[in-house]
Amino acid sequence: EAQVTQNPRYLITVTGKKLTVTCSQNMNHEYMSWYRQDPGLGLRQIYYSMNVEVTDKGDVPEGYKVSRKEKRNFPLILESPSPNQTSLYFCASRLQTGQGYGYTFGSGTRLTVV
């Protein structure tokens, strides 16, 4: 089944403790992206990657890092999480060719930083 898999689904952590949220897709998509969803703000793009070793900042990149060493994986790294990073996070992927293709989204990761 074609899908985007995120782990973990739920995570509670303490301020300053480094964490990684994994994202993997099995559709050979070039383009991958991370979003955070907050009430009243919709989805805001954190980082995106147009292919292996090619990443760029989205609208809200502060406090986050990403890497794209393999085509299928696009982990989101919080080096020193803070409470304002408490949010619902989504990974998404799509084919790069033909911008008319929509995203496939993961099921989300609900992160709480205390």
Partner 1 sequence: AQSVAQPEDQVNVAEGNPLTVKCTYSVSGNPYLFWYVQYPNRGLQFLLKYITGDNLVKGSYGFEAEFNKSQTSFHLKKPSALVSDSALYFCAGGASGSARQLTFGSGTQLTVLP
Q: Minimum distance between the CB of residue 95 and partner 1, rounded to whole angstroms?
A: 12
Q: Which is nearer to partner 1, 33 or 85 (CB)?
A: 33
Q: Minimum distance between the CB of residue 52 and partner 1, rounded to whole angstroms?
A: 16
- Closest-CA residue to 97 (of 6, 28, 48): 28
| Contacts to partner 1 by CB under 8 A | 4, 31, 33, 35, 40-45, 48, 50, 56, 58, 90, 92, 94, 99-100, 102-108
Q: Minimum distance between the CB of residue 100 and partner 1, rounded to whole angstroms?
A: 4
Q: Which is nearer to partner 1, 14 or 54 (CB)?
A: 54
Q: What Å distances lie between residue 95 and 14, 17, 71, CA to CA?
A: 36, 34, 12
Q: Minimum distance between the CB of residue 83 and partner 1, rounded to whole angstroms?
A: 22
Q: Which is nearer to partner 1, 63 or 108 (CB)?
A: 108
Give the bridge partners for 33, in sequence order.
48, 92
Q: Torsion angle of alpha carbons 41, 106, 73, 80, nearest 10°?
A: 40
Q: Which is nearer to partner 1, 5 or 13 (CB)?
A: 5
- Closest-CA residue to 3 (of 63, 85, 92, 64): 92
- Closest-CA residue to 104 (of 23, 38, 36, 47): 23
